[in-house]
């Protein structure tokens, strides 16, 4: 049987208090999993708690703080599925030669956060457990002014392939979103809807995706026991457009 039910499974989602991670927490809980979702800010935690309405647990953790991660993992005990959907790094959108070394390096905080989640969480994983990370379409869709996103995303995807080989039979996968309407773009303010429409106008599916659509991809890799070392694109065809 390639697929397994999430009923009663213990799922931890770091970066699960907003956007894609929160949608994955909601979907996993609706599928019967016992879910812990975590993030840093009080604002996102309170909002996630309100949305969970008791259907999953919400905790405070930072991908860069092993103690905060360990506190959750100790509470969970054995983890069936460990997900990190945290942003965790800076997004400097400038041509490479206009960036400082510090800006470029700061993008890699996403990767360092993910490595900490994996290192800290690995001892808690069930023998048939899984790890799922989140990259992004710039990893393989090269556009000007996106070199930090592209390089970090590609690193996350390659790390996943390395981990899948080293940690088998634990399954390790990555989901790669295209442009998705989440809080990540809230800094655009009133221009957000127009900007997202412009950014996606040439995509094969010419609109921004939803967090729920990407969460579907995450649930697929959690449940399909024959999938490992794989990148699942949920991007409206962005890398082909």
Ligand X SMILES: NC(=O)c1ccc[n+]([C@@H]2O[C@H](COP(=O)([O-])OP(=O)(O)OC[C@H]3O[C@@H](n4cnc5c(N)ncnc54)[C@H](OP(=O)(O)O)[C@@H]3O)[C@@H](O)[C@H]2O)c1
The residues that touch ligand X, with contacts defined as CB under 6 A, are 14-15, 17-21, 39-41, 44, 61-64, 85-88, 113, 134, 136, 177, 179-180, 182-184, 211
For the CB of residue 148, give the shortest distance to ligand X in the complex, in Å.
11
63 vs 99 by CB, closer to ligand X: 63
| Residue among 139 and 227 whose Cβ is closer to ligand X | 139
Residue 70 beta carbon to ligand X: minimum distance, rounded to whole angstroms: 14
Instruction: Choose between 63 and 130: whose C-beta lies nearer to ligand X.
Output: 63
Residue nearest to ligand X according to CB distances in the complex: 19
Our CB check for ligand X shows the closer of 33 and 86 to be: 86
Our CB check for ligand X shows the closer of 3 and 102 to be: 102
Distance CA 199, CA 156 (A): 23
Minimum Å distance from CB 202 to ligand X? 15
Q: How far is the CB of 19 from ligand X (least distance, A)?
A: 2
- In the complex, the smallest distance separating the C-beta of residue 143 from ligand X, rounded to whole angstroms, is 12
């Amino acid at each position: 049987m390639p697929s397994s039910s999430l009923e009663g499974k213990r799922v931890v989602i770091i970066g699960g208090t907003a956007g894609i991670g929160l949608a994955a927490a909601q979907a996993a809980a609706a599928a019967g999993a016992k879910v812990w979702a975590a993030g840093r800010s009080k604002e996102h935690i309170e909002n996630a708690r309100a949305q969970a309405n008791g259907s999953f647990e919400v905790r405070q953790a930072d991908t860069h703080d092993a103690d905060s991660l360990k506190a959750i993992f100790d509470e969970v005990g054995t983890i069936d599925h460990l997900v990190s959907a945290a942003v965790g790094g800076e997004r400097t959108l400038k041509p490479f030669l206009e960036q400082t070394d510090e800006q470029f390096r700061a993008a890699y905080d996403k990767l360092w956060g993910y490595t900490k989640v994996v290192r800290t969480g690995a001892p808690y994983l069930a023998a048939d457990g899984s790890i799922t990370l989140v990259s992004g379409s710039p990893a393989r869709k090269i556009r000007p002014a996106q070199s930090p996103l592209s390089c970090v995303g590609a690193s996350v995807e390659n790390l996943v392939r390395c981990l899948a080989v080293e940690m088998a039979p634990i399954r390790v996968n990555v989901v790669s979103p295209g442009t998705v309407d989440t809080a990540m773009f809230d800094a655009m303010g009133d221009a957000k809807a127009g900007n997202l429409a412009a950014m996606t106008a040439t995509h094969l599916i010419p609109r921004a995706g939803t967090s729920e659509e990407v969460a579907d991809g995450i649930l697929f890799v959690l449940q399909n026991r024959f999938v490992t070392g794989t990148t699942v694109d949920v991007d409206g065809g962005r890398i082909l457009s």
